[in-house]
Amino acid sequence: MDALITVGAIVVLALVVITRGVRIVPQGRKDVVQRLGRYHTTLTPGLNLIIPFFDTVAYKVTTKDIVLDIPSQDVITQDNAVIIANAVAYINIVSPEKSVYGVENYIIAIQNLIQTSLRSIIGEMALDSALSSRDQIKAKLKASISDDIADWGIILKTVEIQDINPSPTMQQAMEEQAAAERQRRAAVTKAEGEKQAAILEADGRLEASKRDGEAKIVLANASAKSIQLVTDSVKGGDELPVMYLLGEKYIESIGELSTSDNSKTVVYPADLANAFKGMFGK
């Protein structure tokens, strides 16, 4: 009977030892083991053996990529503009013992580190440069924090800038500035168009004046020739050209009189030839 009790106790003890001494770690996780309160080893995925009552699994750390959402924050640029920026980081724990013993809470620590670095980087840039240089900010941010978190056994796989936008007040001011610039350009375009139209109109008046002057000169020359012809005809006693010119003027006067708005009565001599001779004393 005593032998059975002893055997039973040994079996129970063996089961307890096996239960507490055998650890199966799933894929994607590593367990940090402490022996009598001090770090002893890190268990990898699979079957692992530890010493019961002396070794304990203190931390269970995932080895999968961790996505950290970096909260939005107000950032002041070099030209004193306020923008709102946030990011997302992808990290991987390669040394679980460093991540649990090197920092109290690596998630909060990395979030604060990225926020601080982001404010520092954007603070050295002007507003326009900050809004259009996401890749540059990303590269600087990754370089600035990679060495720091490496001491905690963590690698930064990548960091992305999710949003980087002006604050509502700054965005309103930018929209008003853009509207004013569009109005200025429209005014300049309108003024330039009016200027070109005025120039073309002046050129047209100048050209018309030149043409009118040339026409008057031609008419004056023609009149001079006509007068000379009349004079020569009168002196030479040839009345035919004179009568022709007088008849032409007579017909033109009648036509102008018929289309005139004024009521006038003009009396033309019936005998133009004798009237003309009387004017010249013949």
Contact of 185 with 153, CB cutoff 8 Å: no
Q: Classify residue 91: in a domain, yes or no.
A: yes
Strand 154-166's sheet: what is its strand order? 66-76, 82-93, 154-166
Read off the CATH number of the domain in which 111 is found.
Answer: 3.30.479.30
Helix (H) / strand (E) containing 153: none
Say if 272 falls within a structural domain.
yes
52's CB contacts (< 8 A; 6+ apart) are 16, 17, 20, 21
**Final residue of a domain: which of 62, 80, 104?**
62
Asked if the structure places residue 106 within a domain, the reply is yes
- Write out pLDDT tens, residues 242-273: 565 666 666 666 666 666 565 555 555 555 55
Task: Choose among 143, 115, 121, 145: nearest CA to 133.
Answer: 121
| Side chain identity at residue 126, one-letter code | A
280 pLDDT band, cuts 50/70/90, is very low
Q: Note whether residue 202 is domain-resident.
A: no
Domain total of the chain: 3
- Is residue 46 in a domain? yes
pLDDT averaged over every residue in the chain: 81
Binning pLDDT at 50, 70 and 90, where does residue 165 land?
Answer: confident
Q: Clarify whether residues 85 and 153 are in a common domain.
A: yes
Q: Is 160 among the domain residues?
A: yes
Print the domain residue range for 274: 213-279
Closest CA to 154 of 213, 89, 216: 89
The answer to whether position 172 is within a domain reads: no
Could you give the CA distance from residue 132 to residue 102 in angstroms, rounded to a whole number?
Answer: 37
Amino acid 179: pLDDT: 73
pLDDT tens-place string over residues 28-50? 999 999 998 899 999 999 999 88
